[in-house]
Amino acid sequence: MKIYIGLVSLLLSSHAVFAAEINQKSSQAEQVGYSFGYLMGRSNAETLKGMDLDAFSKGLKAASRGEKATLTDEQMATILTQFKRQNEAKELIELKQKAENNTKIGQAFLAENAKKPEIKTTKSGLQYQVIQAGQGKTPKANSRVKVHYEGRLIDGTVFDSSIARQQPVEFGTSQVIMGWTEGLQLMKEGAKYRFFIPAELAYGQIGSGDVIEPNSTLIFDVELIEVLKN
């Protein structure tokens, strides 16, 4: 659980419950308390969902005043463990639902995309579009390459872009997701391709980071700048 208490006593400098709006005209203690509470709540919004915030406040105040807890340490540990497990179970259900939805959305998108005359589909299910043909060498599975790329979801959300950073990247052809490994070996130096990558050739049921959800179909614009010497 991501609750970092730290300087909780700053929240408890007054016994009053402040109904009035806190602003720059409020006392320093009120502004500090509000600021700390707001920032803590914002950074822990997911964890605080389903929690009784009035009871949370009572616990903070009692502890800061040195009052005896109404629950034993063992009881608190048990209930917090149960709460954590419930949240984890709920998250797993939500992830499963997202994965199922993303599978349906991705399959429908790829099926429609495959109908376009400029789109080619390989045996693995990888789809690609040749934006610009290349003239140079073609990488192999054990090659190192230098590329520019931009990755986005099928709704257009960009999640990574070396183009925006104006900094191409170098890596081994087999050190990336399977869709890239296959797709790069279709290209020649100087080529620009657009890859439409099914989830099973990308990050699958795990997803990646906060943006790429489980079973997400991905789109990458890739420019093969150079096949490097190993």
Digit-coded pLDDT (tens) for 123-161: 999 999 999 999 989 999 999 999 999 999 999 999 999
Give the position of tokens 């109404």: 70
Q: Is the pLDDT of residue 47 over 80?
A: no
Contacts 24+ apart (CB under 8 A), 2-9: 2/43, 2/44, 2/46, 2/47, 3/40, 3/44, 3/47, 3/48, 4/40, 4/43, 4/44, 5/60, 7/36, 8/60, 8/63, 8/64, 9/64
- AA identity, residue 121: T
Q: What one-character-per-residue DSSP string does 106-171 give?
A: HHHHHHHHTTSTT-EE-TTS-EEEEEE---S----TT-EEEEEEEEEETTS-EEEEHHHHT--EEE
Residue spans of the domains in the chain: they are: 8-64, 99-228
- AA identity, residue 1: M
The percentage of the chain sitting over the pLDDT mark of 70, rounded to a whole number, equals 91
Catalytic residues: 149, 159-160, 177, 203, 220
> 9 falls in which pLDDT band (50, 70, 90)?
very low
- AA identity, residue 120: K
- The pLDDT tens digits for 49-72 are 778 888 888 888 888 888 898 988
Q: How far apart are CA 174 and CA 46, in angstroms?
A: 37
- The pLDDT tens digits for 155-188 are 999 999 999 999 999 999 999 999 999 999 999 9
Please state the φ and ψ torsions of residue 171, each to the nearest 5 degrees. Answer: -165, 170
Instruction: Report the mean per-residue pLDDT for the chain.
Output: 87
DSSP category for residue 208: B
Pick the CATH number of 99-228 from 2.30.30.830, 3.40.50.300, 1.20.58.1880, 3.10.50.40: 3.10.50.40
> 198 falls in which pLDDT band (50, 70, 90)?
very high
- What does the radius of gyration of the chain's CA atoms come to, in whole angstroms? 26
19-24: average pLDDT: 78
Q: How far apart are CA 196 and CA 152, in angstroms?
A: 10
* 66 backbone φψ class: left, alpha, beta (φ>0; ψ -120 to 50): left
